Chain A
Amino acid sequence: EPEVTQTPSHQVTQMGQEVILRCVPISNHLYFYWYRQILGQKVEFLVSFYNNEISEKSEIFDDQFSVERPDGSNFTLKIRSTKLEDSAMYFCASSDTGELFFGEGSRLTVL
């Protein structure tokens, strides 16, 4: 069964460092999303991507965040200068007909 894969599964970084989280969505899907979940809180939307550009972004997705699709398969989320409050689980998801397929998540710990 096709699946969304995310790397790394866990990353520990120092405050102020840049982090890149990677996602390989399901190959024929057209819609891609990044969500995050701070420990103990609900999942929150960050950004959606369609046709190689951002289609929607939340208030959380400020200038320190960026997304790219550097090639035909990978989909990346970059956090330019991490803060303590960026510590969270980051989920990538992809969709074609509306049903969402999630990756296993990347746990980011900022020290």
Chain B
Amino acid sequence: KNEVEQSPQNLTAQEGEFITINCSYSVGISALHWLQQHPGGGIVSLFMLSSGKKKHGRLIATINIQEKHSSLHITASHPRDSAVYICAVRVSGNTPLVFGKGTRLSVIA
């Protein structure tokens, strides 16, 4: 059974700071997802990655398959980035995601 651990659980940052959220998992995977959950509860997919690095705007996601570890970075953070960021992994194909508990980020102006 795959366990997904995220750190930190909660994070408060000043606007403009560089933010890193970490995710580790216990079993080999086919893909790792980073998701954003809005205060209202809706979930948006940010990245799906199986190797290397992806970038979208101010967001960067990296994964190290050998170390079973991924990081989500936010550059030049802004209050609108305040949300819960969730790491989730998939063992193979289109099997269901296994979710981490999420990291609650608050960015203060």
Residues of chain A whose beta carbon lies under 8 Å from any beta carbon of chain B: 31, 33, 35, 37, 41-45, 48, 50, 56, 58, 89, 91, 95, 98-105, 107
Choose, from B17-25, B65-73, B89-97, the stretch at the interface: B89-97
Please tell me the size bucket of the interface on B. 20 to 34
Contacts of A42 in B (CB 8 A): 86, 99-102
Identify which of A31, A43, A48, A56 contacts B99 (C-beta below 8 A). Answer: A43
Q: In the complex the two chains form, what is the Cα distance from A91 to B99 in whole Å?
A: 13
Residues of chain B whose beta carbon lies under 8 Å from any beta carbon of chain A: 30-31, 33, 35, 40-45, 48, 86, 88, 90, 93-102
A102 touches B31 (CB 8 A): no
Interface of A is mostly: strand
Q: What is the distance, in angstroms, from A79's C-beta to the closest C-beta of chain B?
A: 19
Q: What is the distance, in angstroms, from B79's C-beta to the closest C-beta of chain A?
A: 22
